[in-house]
Copies of this chain bind each other. A is one copy, B any other.
Amino acid sequence: MFRMTLQRQVILDELRRVCGHPTADQLYDRVRQRLPRISLGTVYRNLEILAGQGVIQRLELAGGQRRFDACAERHFHVRCSVCGSVGDILLDPRGLLNEMLPDSSEFQITDIHVEFMGLCPECKDRPTAVAPTAERHSTKLRRKHS
């Protein structure tokens, strides 16, 4: 098996505690409140290891950052097209591949990834003009050079 260090434990714990599907640096921010000296590299490394062990799930979604899910069972996700936040979809994925299997392709199809797009609860109630992307860059200010 693998060693359960304090860092690993806190990372896993915080991932489970969060509602949602945080990116590595969102998780880093939370973990840092409990382990101020942890490094972002460690967070990445541990998420990778935990995902490799099947303890957590790495989300293979389109769009910028990688996200992680404390629930390792396969299920679908929705991504908010305004703020980028991700939610779960309650729908049984089994059998979908057979159902949808394309009739002709030179590729040998082995799997299917489905990703829904939509508006999260917060963004759908908001008049369209308001500043978006709050979630995506919440912890980092974009610096412009000179």
Which A residues form the contact surface with B (CB < 8 A)?
60-63, 76, 78, 80-81, 87-91, 100, 102-121, 124
Contact = CB atoms under 8 A, between A and B. Distances in A.
Contacts of A100: 91, 114
B102 A107 contact: no
A113 B62 contact: yes
Q: What is the copy number of this chain in the assembly?
A: 2
Given A61-B62, A63-B60, A100-B114, A119 B107 contact: yes
Nearest to A119: B108
A80 B87 CA distance: 27
Contacts of A113: 62, 114-117
A116 B124 contact: no
B102 A116 contact: yes
A108 B124 contact: yes
A121 B106 contact: yes
Given A90-B104, A106-B87, A116 B121 contact: no
A125 to B, nearest CB: 10
A31 to B, nearest CB: 25
Given A87-B105, A109-B118, 10 more contacts: A60-B63, A61-B62, A62-B115, A78-B107, A87-B106, A89-B105, A90-B104, A91-B103, A107-B124, A108-B124
